[in-house]
Each structure stands twice: as structure tokens, then as C-alpha cells.
Amino acid sequence: MSLPYLDRSRRCWLFAVGLGLLLALLLVVGKGFIRAYQQAKSPVDAVFVLGGSIKRELYISRYARSHPEMPILISSGSKPPCIYLIFQRDNAPMDNVWLENCARSTFGNFYYGVPILKRWGVGKVSLVTSASHLPRSLWLAQILLGAHGIWVEPDIVPEIGVPGNTELFIKTILDVTRSLLWAVISQIYTPSCQQETPLTDINIEAWQVRGFHCEHQAQIESDSN
């Protein structure tokens, strides 16, 4: 038995193992989409707020007043003290509100947000974003949440003025492409965020010492040095 034959056999074996693993992961992803579809008519389990405009936090604080038991995850939204003061001013409950501040992009929102929603046992989520953030955010949500058995129901918040984000076709294509890849990889790898904080844990006095500024649409007093 020659060495080249052994090398060829090893390559064939590795290829077969890799192909088998890929097919198994694709099967898991397919089952995830089926589970998500089955959740379509179920009640919403949680609200997922994508950062990008303080109008979304203004909206979700009013929502929290009428849905005090609903878990809410705000992904890289406005500065934590601004969100805290909005909820405080609106007399909105904070006990079921969490902030995730690891994400730096729309893809990152789902990269870090999906593991948290899975940990909560969510089957159907309300996705809070703006019309200026579509269709990219919804496509990414349907791919990345759907792959893990979570159905997405969009909740569009009206915007005033010029949106901060610009939806470019090439950016949409790139994000959709890597989302399809990540839908498979995320079945075996779970990222974690070290900046996941309950809203009730925000130390507003410490932030006032440090100084911060909130968007003018919030219409709240922000202290800065």
C-alpha cells in the first residue's frame, strides 16, 4: 500500500466527514425553519428592538407600559442612560428590559441577539425597526432567527427626518450572504456578549458624572461635563 494511496484515502475520508457534517447542519437549519413556521400563529414571546434611532426606544417604552410582562431586548440602541431616562419619564416598567451593547452592525444585532432569545426560549418575536431599515433587517431576521426556530413579526416605527442609516443594495447582498453562512455555522457555535445588562442595573448617577448626550427627539434632559 503506497503513501499516495493513503493520502488519497485520508482526503476522501475527510471529504466524506465534512460533507456529512454539512448535510447534518443543513438538516438542522431546515428543521429550524419548519419550527419557526409552526410558531407563526402563536402569540409573541418577546420583543427585539434594533438600535439605530431613538424613536424605537420612545416607541418601546410606551409599549412596555401596556405589556409589562413582555421580555424586551434592545440591541445596541441609544446610550443606556438615555433609554433609562425615557422609561423613567414614561413611567414604563424596566424589570423585563435588557440591553445588549456588543453589536456594531445590523448583522451584529442578530449575531449577539439570537443566542439571548434562544436562551429565553422564544418561539415568536416582534422585531422593532424602521422602514428605512428594510428590507435588509427583515431578511436577516427571517434567515438568522428562522434557522433557530423563531418566527419574526415586524413592527415598523415611523421616523421623522433623515434616517441615520443608508440601505445600499451591495450591503444588503453581503449581509444576506453571510447570514446564510452564519445560519449554518451558528448551529455549532454560540457567541456570547459580555455587555448584556438589565435596564434596572443602569447607574444613572455614575453616567451623569461621566457625562452623556441624548438625541434631541427624546426630549429629555441629559447631563454632560
Contact by Cβ (8 Å): 156, 131: yes
Range name among 13-17, 80-84, 114-118 with the lowest pLDDT average: 13-17
> Residue 27: is its pLDDT beyond 80?
no
Name the CATH architecture for the domain at 25-218: 3-Layer(aba) Sandwich (3.40)
SS3 162: coil
> Residue 160: is its pLDDT beyond 90?
no
43: CB partners within 8 A, 6+ apart: 124
**Over the stretch 87-121, which tens digit does the pLDDT of each residue have?**
999 999 999 999 999 999 999 999 999 999 999 99
- pTM of the shown model: 0.87
97: number of Cβ within 10 Å = 26
Residue found by looking up cell 427571517 in the block: 142
Residues 25, 214: Cα–Cα separation, whole Å: 43
SS3 117: helix
pLDDT-derived band at 24 (thresholds 50, 70, 90) equals: low
Q: Report the mean per-residue pLDDT for the chain.
A: 88
Average pLDDT for 54-76: 96
Hey, what amino acid is at 166? T
**Over the stretch 138-147, which tens digit does the pLDDT of each residue have?**
999 999 999 9
pLDDT at position 14 is 62
Give the start-to-end residue ranges of the domains of the chain. Answer: 25-218
pLDDT-derived band at 20 (thresholds 50, 70, 90) equals: low
DSSP lists the bridge partners of residue 124 as: 151
**Over the stretch 167-216, which tens digit does the pLDDT of each residue have?**
778 889 999 999 999 999 999 999 999 999 999 999 999 999 999 999 88
pLDDT at position 220 is 79
More confident residue, 225 or 90: 90
